[in-house]
Chains A and B, each alone.
Chain A
Amino acid sequence: MKVSLNWVKEYLDFELPPVDELAERIGAQLGAVEEVEDLGAKYNGVVIVRVVECDPLENSDHLHRCLVDDGGKVQGVERQANGLVQVLTGAPNVHKDMWAVWLAPGVTVPESAGKEPFVLESRNMRGSVSHGMLASPRELALGDGHEGLLELDGDSIKPGDDFAEAYKLNDYIIDIENKMFTHRPDCFGILGVAREIAGILGHQFTSPDWYINGLQDMLQADGTSLPLEVHNELPTLVPRFVAIPLSNIEVKPSPFWLQSYLLRCGVRPISNVVDVTNYIMLLTGQPMHAYDYDKVKAVSGGDTATVVVRYPHSGEKITLLNGKEIQPREEAIMIATDKALLGVGGIMGGGATEVGAGTKNIILEVATFDMYSVRRTSMTHGLFTDAVTRFNKGQSPLQNVEVAGRAVQLLSELASASVAGSLIDNNHVGEQSRERRWVHPPVPVTTDFINSRLGLQLTAADIQKLLGDVECSVTADDDRLLVQAPFWRTDIETREDVVEEAGRLYGFDKLPLELPKRSIKPAAKDTTLELKNRLRTRLAKAGANEILTYSFVHSDLIKRVGQNPENAFQVSNALSPDLQYYRLSLMPSLLDKVHLNIKAGYDAFALFELGKTHFVGEMDAQDPELPNEDNQVALVVAYGDKRQPVGAAYYQACKYLEGLIDPHSLELTSLADFDLTKDAWGKELTAPYEPSRSAVIVKDGQIWGVVGEFKASVRRALKLPVYAAGFELHLDAINFSTAARYLPLPRFPTVWQDLTLKVTAEKSYAEVRGFVHRALEANAPHDTLIRLDDVGIYQAKGDQAHKNITFRVRITGQNRTLTDKEVSRVVEAIAGAAQKDLAAEWA
């Protein structure tokens, strides 16, 4: 919201502090100031001149030689004998007796100010000297116009007048963040902001009389009668529709003083009629619209212009002022006739009834549209206008007639408008439901209520003054207050609203900074967050790098790893195609980050992530109305092909997994052997993994995780190296205990011996090891501690049918030193059993 400080000052009767201090106060008590622009600085030395002589320049097909009168104001410039200054211009609209803006030598072109300043000088052109230049609107940073000079009307200016001062361009533009005003429709007008500035500076604000009491005189019919009717079929959505016909209109550019108001606030001047409606909108926050009366009458098909407020008929279309044709949504508020659409209510008028050069008569509309409906229509059709910005905040319908009066007054001055019929006030404000009540009943509140929420000790009188300054009426009975907000304050409805208002006007920066009091009871730490902290500490200690990747993935990634997107929550409105689905598991996102790191020169790394995954149809146990969120941990370890270690990557991934889970509490089952047909979640989880080189982690018959290598297709699609493996695990499966398990230190030495068994290649290691361990338990002397270590697995080149497995058997006496012989006997017994039961050879 761009606020012109000069405009604000017109409504204040006291001196403002310096602009820096004011901006600081606005920031602290009204809303964040995004920028303060010193507009006046751009126009240093820019003066108004009268073109006294203007002749085509010899040797040129387009330049004119002008002699301009600056009242002798500019110093140090070469003058003719008569005191005039020669300036050349190529602008086609230059003419004798024109009032123009002169940029004298030494003056910076306003358009270039603050960028790369361009300072003018006297310059020779085709044999003649031009002292500076006459300026176009664009060169003056006042809009896009550059096809001709800015032409001023000569009223109340004289040669040599300071341009900025004459048109109030010696201004500061304070840009206040719109978000702050989401609930403050009044602050989308200069009047509202001026009122707030008075309030935060401790001064009484008084709204102009026309805004409160209206301009009844202006609204009396005094010209040709133009028959007009309004039918409002949507009184709930359009609580008030004020319209008045005006005749005798002369459409032309508005005087520059009026254009200046618009330009300072960033609105492009169009014509006197449109500019007046915009001026009033910028001042009061109330958008309005002017229709060409005769065009409306023509589409009404009779002797009367009949405006109907209604929904669009099926299939109806409208071409808008911006040239775009739309078929409005079914519940859009339309301004129309019975036969045709004229405009989208509160958003944009239609091209067919636009006010243009030939317009003689107009209908001025000052209506109120439902903020929610306007917002929805605006979003549906992508129409964002200044009117939408204001209507979707909920402008009060109690200002329409007053605002219309002021607009008519200006139109009669600037467009010679005459009132051509009585004002139509289609008013349903009194019929509104409780939810949409426009004037809230007075709010009863106590000073104690206010003070306890702010930590202050304000008296009733303090509060009366704070709120009274912004025209709230506050009656006090001891510490009981009754606060009646003015009609434009649609936001003050509850006691908390009054607290906010009092606190803000008092100054939140003056609140006492006191910590809440609490007991010394320790706060419980969250177990999930704590588990995550422990996991990341553990994995980082194991040389892995934690990464974070997006919760959303591209459908390509899902498909490449063989998952089914139908099980994933689909994002319906992402701007980027990379964000189509919630991820089904973490691993695809991790795999997606492997190649880029190998390419960056990393040839051995492990990436892990702790994140959430979602699965359509799986609901939260605690909150069954919402999707379940699975907390997962995943890790991938990868070595570049140049540094590929010996053996399968699977075993490396297992190494990392062993750090997180107690291998005895979970069961590892070959993925190839596990029946996934009934486990849709497990199917998606394991989709990227190669079944013959992966195992699922099973607990109580259910899949909780997977560890393994990846399918050839996945490796190819994601450019993974051959040596890559990983795991993904549900956090609920993780059970590493914090308490270490302690065994007393042995007092007697350990005796060990290796045992190598030759078994058939198909026999699983676990089977052999399990057998050996049980045999060791059975054969070791009862007063000993035993341990079995894995030493090696060897397969002879010539014999792929067998393998040799070597274990180290370690036995420690609890009360005595064991002899080698005793240990040998145990090993022999194990070997013997293995020969018998496993058909193993003792090698």
Chain B
Amino acid sequence: MNYQNPKVQETAELLKGRFAELTSKSDILKAAELRALYGEIPTLPVDRRGVFGKELNDLRAELQEMVDEAGEQAEALPPIDLTAPFDVNVSVDERPTLLPSETGTKHPLMTELELVLDIFYRMGFMALESREIDDDFHMFGSLNFPEDHPARDDYDTFMTTQTDLNGKQLIAPAHTSTMQNRVLQAHKGNLEKGEPIAVLLPGRVFRNEDLDARHEHTFYQFEGVYVDKGIHAGNLLATFKTFLGEYYQQDIEIKSQPFYFPFTEPSFELALSCPFCQKKGCHVCSYTGWIELLGMGMIHPNVLRDGGIDSEVYTGFAWGCGLERLVMMKYGIEDIRHFESGKLNFLRQFA
């Protein structure tokens, strides 16, 4: 790199020359000559200080880069033959092998998701993974959330600096419902063929909140979407009750509470009878016999219409269920943060 200022250029050449001979390469950054140049800045006329200072900083950065590079080289391991199956002079017993099968584990959330998926496949649902970055239209607009609607407050969404084509910030979806409009659009043809739209949408969702033992900013949900002729709210409750019965391998009772979501009407919150104590009361259900699990409802006609579906003819339902709760209750996991901790003493318990 060449410097405009002759003094800086001169010092640059001097220091680069000295660098090669230094044993402790980082000493070059402490060179008296460099310090002296910095000391000159206040003595310069104000209008020249900026240019001079910038050149000095550039020189310092260049030297820093040389120091880093030298460090990298000093610690670098020698090149190897990348096309070989094993290293030179390594005996047969010492060659790389896979770790023993017993130590291997799948993540408990993923094991559970496979189980959930399997049940819904058997119930006739297709599946599609939810997106991790989406736009305002899918996250809110297509779900009947008007701009500035207070219902948006319930979703502490992460936004990106980058924007979509409409100039709106992109969003880390706070619910898997962000996929509803897509699957309605993609499968509306089913309805004309006399087949339902039945899709399960698992995926990661995000809420901008502080972490504690019960709150994660990153977690998993599985959304269900079902649309056909003559679908009513009783179908919704029966479908999820059937899933729960299969999942827990026992008869489960359900209890619905009215709720509000802009994208379903009517909306419910569903509680299930505690599968761990059969309603007798235990620590999982806080001795109430019931566990509040998820939100659901009949898909709002505006959402169907935005999805290209005639809401006069077809009706449908949707739910969004968290995955972590299911797994935490099943194994008695005390802290939701363990899931994304990457700790082997947690993970290897799920062999």
Residues of A bordering B, CB below 8 Å: 27-32, 179-184, 371-373, 375-376, 392-393, 452-455, 494, 496-497, 499-500, 503-504, 508-509, 511-516, 518-519, 521-526, 528-529, 532-533, 536-537, 539-552, 569-576, 579, 582, 590, 592-593, 596-597, 600, 602, 604-607, 610, 612, 614, 616, 623, 625-627, 629, 637, 645-648, 650-652, 654-656, 659, 668, 670, 672, 690, 692-695, 708-709, 711-713, 715-716, 722, 764-767, 769, 790, 792-795, 803
Contact present for A694 and B82 (CB under 8 Å): yes
CA distance A393 to B292 in the complex (A): 26
Check B36 for interface membership: any CB of A closer than 8 A.
no
Contact present for A550 and B218 (CB under 8 Å): yes
- Looking across the interface, which residue of chain B has its beta carbon closest to that of A626? B135
Given contacts A496-B265, A500-B266, A543-B99, contact A27 B257 (CB under 8 A): yes
Check B328 for interface membership: any CB of A closer than 8 A.
no
The one of A610, A692, A722 that contacts B80, using a Cβ cutoff of 8 Å: A692
The one of B68, B86, B125, B242 that contacts A713, using a Cβ cutoff of 8 Å: B68
20 more contacts with CB within 8 A, not counting A542-B99, A647-B88, are A31-B257, A376-B148, A455-B234, A494-B301, A508-B268, A518-B124, A525-B121, A537-B106, A539-B104, A547-B107, A552-B172, A571-B158, A573-B208, A596-B342, A605-B99, A606-B99, A612-B132, A626-B133, A651-B96, A790-B86
Tell me which residues across on chain B come within 8 A of A28, comparing CB atoms: 255-258
- Looking across the interface, which residue of chain B has its beta carbon closest to that of A494? B301
- Looking across the interface, which residue of chain A has its beta carbon closest to that of B68? A713
Tell me which residues across on chain A come within 8 A of B81, comparing CB atoms: 764-765
- Please give me the 6 A-B residue pairs with the lowest Cβ-Cβ distance, nearest first: A543-B99, A647-B87, A593-B342, A766-B83, A712-B75, A455-B234
The one of A453, A519, A571, A637 that contacts B172, using a Cβ cutoff of 8 Å: A571
Tell me which residues across on chain B come within 8 A of A508, comparing CB atoms: 233, 237, 256, 258, 266, 268
Contact present for A650 and B196 (CB under 8 Å): no
Check B298 for interface membership: any CB of A closer than 8 A.
yes
Check B300 for interface membership: any CB of A closer than 8 A.
yes
B5 to chain A: closest CB distance in Å? 29
CA distance A523 to B100 in the complex (A): 36
The one of B107, B133, B217, B300 that contacts A614, using a Cβ cutoff of 8 Å: B133
* Residues 148-186 of chain B, each 1 if its beta carbon lies under 8 Å from chain A, else 0: 111101100011111011000110100000000010000
Q: List 25 A-B contacts (CB under 8 A).
A: A28-B257, A31-B258, A31-B260, A494-B301, A496-B301, A499-B266, A515-B238, A516-B231, A516-B235, A518-B196, A523-B198, A526-B126, A542-B101, A544-B99, A549-B342, A569-B133, A569-B161, A571-B172, A572-B159, A575-B208, A597-B344, A605-B344, A612-B204, A626-B133, A793-B87
Contact present for A497 and B265 (CB under 8 Å): yes
CA distance A573 to B171 in the complex (A): 11
Check B147 for interface membership: any CB of A closer than 8 A.
yes
The one of A532, A548, A570 that contacts B339, using a Cβ cutoff of 8 Å: A548
Interface residue stretch chosen among B50-58, B109-117, B279-287: B109-117
Given contacts A496-B300, A524-B126, A546-B106, contact A582 B339 (CB under 8 A): no
Check B348 for interface membership: any CB of A closer than 8 A.
yes
Q: Give the number of residues in B that approach A within 8 Å (Cβ atoms).
A: 121
Check B42 for interface membership: any CB of A closer than 8 A.
no
Tell me which residues across on chain A come within 8 A of B75, comparing CB atoms: 712-713, 715-716
A422 to chain B: closest CB distance in Å? 35
A353 to chain B: closest CB distance in Å? 28
CA distance A179 to B74 in the complex (A): 61
Which of A521, A605, A651, A764 gathers most chain B CB within 10 Å?
A651
CA distance A119 to B80 in the complex (A): 80
Contact present for A576 and B260 (CB under 8 Å): no
Contact present for A453 and B71 (CB under 8 Å): no
The one of A509, A543, A610 that contacts B101, using a Cβ cutoff of 8 Å: A543
The main secondary structure of chain A at its interface with chain B is mixed
Residues of B bordering A, CB below 8 Å: 68, 71-72, 74-92, 94-107, 109-110, 114, 117, 121, 124-129, 131-135, 146-151, 153-154, 158-162, 164-165, 169-170, 172, 182, 195-196, 198, 202, 204, 206, 208-211, 217-218, 226, 228, 230-235, 237-239, 241-242, 255-260, 262, 265-269, 292, 298, 300-301, 315, 339-340, 342-345, 347-348
Tell me which residues across on chain B come within 8 A of A392, comparing CB atoms: 150
CA distance A569 to B160 in the complex (A): 6
Contact present for B230 and A602 (CB under 8 Å): no
Given contacts A508-B256, A525-B127, contact A514 B234 (CB under 8 A): yes
A795 to chain B: closest CB distance in Å? 5
The one of A371, A692, A769 that contacts B76, using a Cβ cutoff of 8 Å: A692
Tell me which residues across on chain A come within 8 A of B266, comparing CB atoms: 499-500, 503-504, 508
Tell me which residues across on chain B come within 8 A of A373, comparing CB atoms: 148
- Looking across the interface, which residue of chain B has its beta carbon closest to that of A546? B107
Tell me which residues across on chain B come within 8 A of A715, comparing CB atoms: 75
Tell me which residues across on chain B come within 8 A of A654, comparing CB atoms: 85, 96
- Looking across the interface, which residue of chain A has its beta carbon closest to that of B127? A526
- Looking across the interface, which residue of chain A has its beta carbon closest to that of B92? A792
Contact present for B340 and A509 (CB under 8 Å): no
- Looking across the interface, which residue of chain A has its beta carbon closest to that of B292? A32
- Looking across the interface, which residue of chain A has its beta carbon closest to that of B94? A646
Contact present for A515 and B103 (CB under 8 Å): no
Tell me which residues across on chain A come within 8 A of B106, comparing CB atoms: 536-537, 540, 546
Tell me which residues across on chain B come within 8 A of A523, comparing CB atoms: 121, 124-126, 198
The main secondary structure of chain B at its interface with chain A is mixed
Tell me which residues across on chain A come within 8 A of B196, comparing CB atoms: 516, 518
CA distance A101 to B307 in the complex (A): 64
CA distance A549 to B92 in the complex (A): 36
A201 to chain B: closest CB distance in Å? 15
Given contacts A30-B258, A543-B99, contact A529 B92 (CB under 8 A): no
Given contacts A455-B235, A523-B121, A648-B80, contact A552 B158 (CB under 8 A): yes
B250 to chain A: closest CB distance in Å? 16
Contact present for B228 and A516 (CB under 8 Å): yes
Contact present for B92 and A652 (CB under 8 Å): no
- Looking across the interface, which residue of chain B has its beta carbon closest to that of A722? B77
Tell me which residues across on chain B come within 8 A of A646, comparing CB atoms: 87, 89-91, 94
B219 to chain A: closest CB distance in Å? 10
B299 to chain A: closest CB distance in Å? 10
Tell me which residues across on chain A come within 8 A of B71, comparing CB atoms: 712-713
Contact present for A182 and B72 (CB under 8 Å): no
Tell me which residues across on chain A come within 8 A of B105, comparing CB atoms: 540, 545-546
CA distance A645 to B90 in the complex (A): 10
B95 to chain A: closest CB distance in Å? 7
Given contacts A515-B238, A515-B242, A546-B110, contact A650 B82 (CB under 8 A): yes
The one of B102, B153, B209, B347 that contacts A546, using a Cβ cutoff of 8 Å: B347
Contact present for B129 and A526 (CB under 8 Å): yes
Tell me which residues across on chain A come within 8 A of B89, comparing CB atoms: 646, 793-795
Tell me which residues across on chain A come within 8 A of B99, comparing CB atoms: 542-544, 604-606, 637
Tell me which residues across on chain B come within 8 A of A690, comparing CB atoms: 76-77
Contact present for B260 and A651 (CB under 8 Å): no
Contact present for B148 and A454 (CB under 8 Å): no
Tell me which residues across on chain B come within 8 A of A765, comparing CB atoms: 81, 83-85
Contact present for A648 and B107 (CB under 8 Å): no
Tell me which residues across on chain B come within 8 A of A503, comparing CB atoms: 233, 266
- Looking across the interface, which residue of chain B has its beta carbon closest to that of A607? B342
B326 to chain A: closest CB distance in Å? 15
Tell me which residues across on chain A come within 8 A of B226, comparing CB atoms: 516
- Looking across the interface, which residue of chain A has its beta carbon closest to that of B194? A519
Given contacts A536-B110, A545-B105, A602-B344, contact A511 B234 (CB under 8 A): yes
Contact present for A712 and B76 (CB under 8 Å): yes
CA distance A711 to B77 in the complex (A): 9
Given contacts A453-B315, A572-B160, contact A605 B103 (CB under 8 A): yes
The one of A576, A648, A713, A792 that contacts B211, using a Cβ cutoff of 8 Å: A576
CA distance A526 to B121 in the complex (A): 10
Tell me which residues across on chain B come within 8 A of A545, comparing CB atoms: 103-105, 344, 347-348
The one of A494, A600, A625 that contacts B164, using a Cβ cutoff of 8 Å: A625
